[in-house]
């Protein structure tokens, strides 16, 4: 049993802006994480500093104390189930000394390939990182709670954001890491191989580099994304190398709330129109598209079947067209009545990730095509970000519409689902549409 001081929690009589809070903590040299769930059932968590990290290491997942010492280890080549087992042990030792239902929480996420350690520009991010912060601030249905797992963590509430010390970027120089002609050729190659039967679907991503003429602040980007995409999950995760991973994801991988689990797979996309009538026309086009419906069916049926072993019953509603600021998607809402109270949010995330919406199907064949044709290091792109609490409740959003930020620039990522009848030119246009989500927020 891990020996740990009680987690203290209390309700705050004021509601700090969580972006300001994480920006101030980052200014002071602390590692920070932020995830904000959109309305109407809004929930936001800011994580400041660290008390413990559950982090991917060779052979499994280690529990590291704030100073970096390993205090526990869970072996396993499959790191997400190993993380779930380690979290059950840790949360049992982190007794709560606060209001009922407010106790220990871990915030973080994992790479698209949790079995691989990211390299290249992702050197600051392990394959799995779930952090018990020194101080978490959670805003739930209009009430705000602080959760301290380290002595003196209350002082983090008093930090003040100093603002950007240098001029913010006003212009961006955007370049494709891979020539768009070469990328569309890879899409055509993938579609040809799908027609030959190698797989049913594969997702291929693009990467662009945006360099600014001034500072690109993670806090500024998060605030811009929150304002521009209010119906998306907004998130920021700082890396050990000073970079920050930020994005605005439309897609819920899984939410567990007591005996219920929820997921909303999305696949199949079209642009927004110039007006409501144009929106409706494009939505009907999406609903009538054989390619998009086939692509969506793979994702939704996978989620339904992945949840069945954990559930007494599984219900699905959809597909329906859901609209975001600059794009429309086919989405299916899946609800599961869990059979075992011990099944927590990490167990469910491990069973669902990656869905065919971000990888393809069958999974092994799709990953082989990705490795051969994509030509980039995904890192945490198309992984997941989220949180889990001491009761096993929590949620993880698919890490989409995202970028890896540094002081004056960013690497941005966007992917498309390739099907046997995909049009490479249309798939390229879809990536450009998705890149706009981050590009508009960088300046």
Q: Rounded distance, CA 147 to CA 142, Å?
A: 16
Query: Quick one: how far is CA 20 from the chain centroid?
Result: 21
More reliable by pLDDT, 168 or 305: 305
For residue 100, pLDDT beyond 70? no
pTM for this structure? Answer: 0.94
- Residues sharing a CB contact under 8 Å with residue 392, sequence separation 6 or more, in sequence order: 256, 342, 343, 344, 345, 346
3-state helix, strand, coil in the chain (%, to 5): 30, 35, 35
Percent of the chain with pLDDT over 70: 96
C-beta atoms surrounding 340 within 10 Å = 12
Region at 123 (left for phi over 0; alpha for psi -120 to 50; beta for the rest): alpha
For residue 125, pLDDT beyond 60? yes
Q: Rounded distance, CA 284 to CA 348, Å?
A: 33
The confidence band for 408, taking pLDDT boundaries of 50, 70 and 90, is: confident
C-beta atoms surrounding 315 within 10 Å = 11
Phi, psi of 385 (to 5 degrees): -130, 145
Catalytic residues: 201, 251
Averaged pLDDT of the chain = 92
Tens digits of residue pLDDT in 3-17: 667 788 899 998 889
Tens digits of residue pLDDT in 184-224: 999 999 999 999 999 999 999 999 999 888 778 888 899 99
* 44, 36 contact by CB (below 8 A): yes
The confidence band for 99, taking pLDDT boundaries of 50, 70 and 90, is: low
Percent of the chain with pLDDT over 90: 80
Residue 181 burial class via C-beta count within 10 angstroms: exposed 0-12, middle 13-18, buried 19 and up? exposed
Average pLDDT score over residue span 52-60: 97
Query: How many angstroms separate the Cα of 113 from the Cα of each of 41, 85, 199, 370?
Result: 30, 19, 19, 11
Domains of the chain: 172-217+258-379+406-439 (3.60.120.10)
- The three-class DSSP label of residue 203 is strand
């Amino acid at each position: 049993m891990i020996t740990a001081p009680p987690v203290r929690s209390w309700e705050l009589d004021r509601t700090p802006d969580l972006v300001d809070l994480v920006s101030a903590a980052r200014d002071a040299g602390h590692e920070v994480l932020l995830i904000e769930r959109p309305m109407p059932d809004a929930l936001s968590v800011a994580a400041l500093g660290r008390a413990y990290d559950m982090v991917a290491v060779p052979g499994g997942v280690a529990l590291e104390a704030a100073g970096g010492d390993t205090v526990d280890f869970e072996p396993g080549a499959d790191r997400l189930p190993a993380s779930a087992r380690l979290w059950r042990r840790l949360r049992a030792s982190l007794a709560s000394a606060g209001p009922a239902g407010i106790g220990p929480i871990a915030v973080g996420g994992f790479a698209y390939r949790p079995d691989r350690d990211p390299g290249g520009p992702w050197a600051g991010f392990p394959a799995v990182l779930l952090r018990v912060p020194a101080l978490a601030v959670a805003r739930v249905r209009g009430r705000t709670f602080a959760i301290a797992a380290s002595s003196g963590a209350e002082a983090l509430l008093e930090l003040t954001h100093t603002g950007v010390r240098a001029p913010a970027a006003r212009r961006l120089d955007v370049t494709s890491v891979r020539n768009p002609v070469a990328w569309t050729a890879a899409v055509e190659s993938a579609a040809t191989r799908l027609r030959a039967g190698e797989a049913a679907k594969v997702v291929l991503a693009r990467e662009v580099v945006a360099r600014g003429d001034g500072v690109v602040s993670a806090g500024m980007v998060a605030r811009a994304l929150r304002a521009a995409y209010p119906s998306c999950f907004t998130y920021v995760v700082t890396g050990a190398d000073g970079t920050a991973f930020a994005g605005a994801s439309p897609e819920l991988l899984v939410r567990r709330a007591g005996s219920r689990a929820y997921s909303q797979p999305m696949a199949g996309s079209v642009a927004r129109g110039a007006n409501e009538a144009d929106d409706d026309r494009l939505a009907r086009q999406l609903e009538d598209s054989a390619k998009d419906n086939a692509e969506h069916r793979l994702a939704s049926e996978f989620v339904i079947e992945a949840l069945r072993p954990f559930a007494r019953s599984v219900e699905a509603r959809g597909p329906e067209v859901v609209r975001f600021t600059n794009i429309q998607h086919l989405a299916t809402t899946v609800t599961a009545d869990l059979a075992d109270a011990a099944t927590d949010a990490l167990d469910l995330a491990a069973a669902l990730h990656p869905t065919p919406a971000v990888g393809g199907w069958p999974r092994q064949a799709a990953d082989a095509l990705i490795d051969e044709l994509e030509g980039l290091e995904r890192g945490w792109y198309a992984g997941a970000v989220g949180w889990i609490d001491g009761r096993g409740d929590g949620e993880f959003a698919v890490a989409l519409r995202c970028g890896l930020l540094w002081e004056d620039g960013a690497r941005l990522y966007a992917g498309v689902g390739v099907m046997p009848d995909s049009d490479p030119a249309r798939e390229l246009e879809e990536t450009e549409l998705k890149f706009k989500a981050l590009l508009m927020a960088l300046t």
